[in-house]
Chain A
Amino acid sequence: MSGAIADAFARARARGEGALVAYAMAGDPDLPRSVDVFAACVEGGADILEIGVAFSDPIADGPVIQGASERALKAGSTLRRVLDEVVPAVRERCPQTPLVVMTYVNVIMALGEERYAKLARERGVSGTILPDLPPEESIDIRQAFDREGLELIPLCAPTTSPKRAESIAKDARGFVYCVSVAGVTGMRSQLPADLSERLELVRRVSPVPVVAGFGISSAEQARVVGAHADGVVVGSAIVRAAQADGPSAARQVCADIKRGLKR
């Protein structure tokens, strides 16, 4: 494995830490202020930034990110504006941190997958997560991304069979995003008991790092999950904190989680 994402995981590992992938919504509360949230996440210790691009019909997201999506759309966020205004500004403030875009397949299709891949790569995006694009539907998009060296990061779910998880992991680019709970994004007080087992299974076969996401919001959860993964994704907790108390609250959430990821 090579590239900015791999380097970020390697740096975290060298420091004896699990990596923190921090998600926030571009354009929430507006485009410039969302840049402050991303920068704050990096100040709090985020190793990779996941830049949410709003979609009107986010079927994989829970209420916190749905709300952020609605606010971002009201503020005029579009994929094109995120690539033109948010991504370059974040890159400038956090030059070391790999950026990953997370949105829905229709948003990418509307811009055109090849055009998107080219623009994203030019502006310094390393990868893309599309939660409504299972492997069966992803062949064309992945080819377009591969041509630009943009990594299409696959998801694995609690309902994914071991055999299917193995084939998803073997083909993965960037990292494998293991969804920790059968459900939508959002904070949970409890994570499933078999999560560690599933993470280990994917890790055994995956050529790239494996992270767990969905439902993780505390240092303790990060510590438990981080023992079986290369890192965690935190989204709703950051989005909620940033909405309530601004970028410094997002920084605090990241710092807390990062404490849990120390080994």
Chain B
Amino acid sequence: MDTKTAPGRFGRYGGRYVPETLVPAHQELELAYAEAQKDPSFGEQVAQVLREFVGRETPLTPARRLTTLWGGAEVWLKREDLAHTGAHKINNTIGQVLLAKRMGKKRIIAETGAGQHGVATATACALFGLPCEVYMGALDVERQSLNVFRMKALGATVHAVESGSRTLKDAMNEAMRVWVAQIHDTHYVIGSAAGPHPYPTIVRDFQSVIGKEVRTQSLVAFGQLPDAIIACIGGGSNAIGILHPFIGDKNVRLVGVEAGGHGLDSGQHGASLTLGTEGVLHGSRSLVLQDEHGQIMEAHSISAGLDYPGVGPELAYLAKTGRVEVRTATDDEALKAFYEVCRNEGILPALESSHAFARAGELARELGKGKYLVINCSGRGDKDVATIAARGVPPAIRLEGA
């Protein structure tokens, strides 16, 4: 199934809703990316950096104790937490910064939520010698101080954005505003598979390395494609990255988990595929959390990377057509899953990834024994330890640990 029904469109979703000032830059990027794709040396260059610097391929690790605990399908983890900088975000930033260099851009700007994309962008900029400015919601600057330090250590300038909800969506607004003023020599590295065309396509392509590796690795590890793959969805870059290469494989169930926050009834969540309506945010038409007047609502999640009120247009299309099944996990469920993974597998998953783990047990049982489930462990949880520690250990976990 080809989900690309028109250039930059995924069914009704996608497109390029940006100020006229930005249109030529998007056209230039579209063209440069098309040329880069035709140039084998570009693909080789990206692959080489991913291999030598990022440490790809990342392992597909058997989760034996979770398999036993959940009592269903055999569980395997795609270990994006082991990619350099600790999350899948680096796959995209290496590709985009190399593309920017190819285009002769002199400076990089980026937005970041949890800071993983900011760290990954700052890292790619340090590696390739480009100045880097990162826009981050002031609230996220507070709750992700480790990543703020890392970005600064890598030489990036971090701008705390005070407008709106002071989170990811506002950081993205600000980065777009800054980009309009610096368009001639600056490339904006968008970190999610969202935003105006061609970003959703570019980010998906660079992140698809995850799913391509899973295809090969699963054949080696258990002799077949997985029966199901599950990933968390905020904007959706790790999800589209691991799921996209399997879209044509009808027997592989594709499952996304959104941030349920305080619960879907609470109005405080990040479940744009589940409860969003069609709208235009950050340059593309997709499903967004908005009120009846078209004002974008503030999303909430314990995970700074998932509290985004929009979602990538291709995922919106895949969810609407039913190819991707969408579920949600609350803050509490994600926290509980975090400890479950820590104590059973010796892995500290990111709070984002913990949302995927929170729904994976059920999915493993639904699939049943003899089936294979792959969970995208999209990042590591070091950045989240202050948030998690502040919440205290959930009672259920405390009993199990005692």
Contacts and interface: CB of A to CB of B under 8 A. Distances in A.
Contact of A106 (B20, B170, B290): B290
B19 to A, nearest CB: 4
Given A134-B18, A159-B21, A59 B177 contact: yes
Contact of B294 (A62, A109, A154): A109
Given A110-B290, A182-B183, A155 B20 contact: yes
Nearest to B19: A60
A150 B292 CA distance: 23
B164 A133 contact: no
B294 A111 contact: yes
Contacts of B170: 57
A134 B23 contact: yes
Size bin of chain A's contact surface: 35 or more
Interface string A127-171: 000011110110000000000000000111111110010001000
Nearest to A78: B293
A128 to B, nearest CB: 14
Contacts of B184: 159, 182
A58 interface: yes
A88 B93 CA distance: 51
Contact of B295 (A55, A159, A160): A55
A156 B23 CA distance: 10
Interface string B222-239: 000000000000000000
A183 to B, nearest CB: 4
A57 B293 contact: no
A109 B280 contact: yes
Contacts of A239: none
Interface of A is mostly: loop
Interface in A61-101: 61-62, 66, 70, 73, 78-80
A35 B182 CA distance: 36
Contacts of B183: 159, 182
Which of A59, A137, A181 has the most CB atoms of chain B within a 10 A radius of its CB? A59
Nearest to A73: B295
Interface in B157-185: 163-164, 169-170, 173, 176-177, 180-181, 183-184
Contacts of B22: 159
A179 B15 contact: no
A184 B18 CA distance: 12
Interface in A211-254: none
Contacts of B15: 136-137
A105 B19 CA distance: 11
A107 interface: yes
A137 B278 CA distance: 15
Interface string B1-24: 000000000000001111111111
A27 to B, nearest CB: 12
Contacts of A132: 17-19, 280, 283
Contacts of B18: 59, 132, 134
A158 B294 contact: no
A159 B279 contact: no
A204 to B, nearest CB: 19
Nearest to A79: B293
B169 A184 contact: no
B21 A106 contact: no
B279 A106 contact: yes
B319 interface: no
Given A137-B16, A137-B17, A159 B24 contact: yes
A160 B20 contact: yes
B294 A107 contact: yes
A106 B281 contact: yes
A105 B282 CA distance: 11
Contacts of B164: 56-57, 70
B181 A109 contact: no
B252 interface: no
A70 B166 CA distance: 13
B310 to A, nearest CB: 10
Contacts of B290: 106, 110
A103 B109 CA distance: 26
A156 B294 contact: no
B16 A136 contact: yes
Contact of B21 (A111, A133, A157): A157
A59 B16 contact: no
A211 to B, nearest CB: 14
A183 B180 contact: yes
Nearest to B288: A106
A168 B24 CA distance: 13
B47 interface: no
A59 B19 contact: yes
Q: Top 5 nearest A-B pairs by Cβ distance?
A: A110-B294, A183-B181, A157-B21, A78-B293, A157-B20
Interface of A: 54-62, 66, 70, 73, 78-80, 104-111, 131-134, 136-137, 154-161, 164, 168, 179, 181-184
25 contacts: A56-B164, A56-B296, A59-B18, A59-B19, A59-B180, A62-B177, A78-B293, A105-B17, A106-B290, A110-B290, A110-B292, A110-B294, A134-B16, A134-B19, A155-B20, A157-B20, A157-B21, A159-B25, A159-B184, A160-B23, A160-B24, A179-B20, A182-B21, A182-B180, A184-B177
Given A132-B280, A132-B283, A182-B183, 15 more contacts: A56-B296, A59-B18, A59-B176, A61-B177, A73-B295, A79-B294, A80-B293, A104-B280, A105-B17, A106-B288, A107-B295, A110-B294, A137-B17, A164-B24, A182-B180
